[in-house]
Amino acid sequence: MNILTVDDSRTMRDMLRMALVKAGFNVVAAVDGEHGLEVLSENGADVIITDINMPKLDGFGFIERVREDHNHRATPILVLTTESDPSKKDRARRAGATGWIVKPFHPDKLIEAIRRVAA
């Protein structure tokens, strides 16, 4: 399964990559929402994991743009966020997020969340 991660933090990208590769996924990483859209159109993805607070195009905007793209309307998107504010989660859901993972994530929880949204 191919997973696209979108996060402006190098630490977080490395952590995700480590956890996901260990679990047997293929991982492609993007550094912000705009980059995420580019990578998605080039490589596609079975599941997308995205951060919210990012420069250029934030997670909300990124999710909206992904959902506007006919090719990715049905691609599960998990929001990875440290936001404890429920309104942020609601906003991500309104934008079209499938589910969420709260940072700091435990690798098992991450894999479980992916399993819940991906066939």
The yes or no reply on residue 21 touching other proteins (CB under 8 A) is yes
Distance from C-alpha of 37 to C-alpha of 109, rounded to nearest angstrom? 26
Give yes or no for a contact between 37 and 65, defined as CB atoms under 8 angstroms apart: yes
Q: Is 9 in the site for other proteins (CB under 8 A)?
A: yes
Tell whether residue 111 is a contact of other proteins (CB under 8 A): no
| Count of residues of this chain found to bind other proteins when the rule CB under 8 A is applied | 54
Which burial class, exposed, middle or buried, applies to 113 when counting CB atoms under 10 A from its CB (0-12, 13-18, 19+)?
Answer: buried
- The correct pick among 23, 28, 57, 111 for binding other proteins (CB under 8 A) is 28
DSSP secondary-structure letter at 106? P
Assess 68 for contact with other proteins (CB under 8 A): no
Does 65 contact other proteins by CB under 8 A?
no
* Dihedral sign for Cα atoms in the order 64, 69, 74, 76: negative
Q: Given the DSSP bridges, would you call strands 26-30 and 77-81 parallel, antiparallel or unpaired?
A: unpaired
- Could you say which of 34, 49, 62, 116 contacts other proteins (CB under 8 A)? 116
Residues that bind other proteins in the complex, under the rule CB under 8 A: 2, 8-15, 18, 21, 26-31, 35, 39, 43-44, 46, 53-55, 67, 70-77, 82, 84, 89, 93, 96-106, 109, 116-119
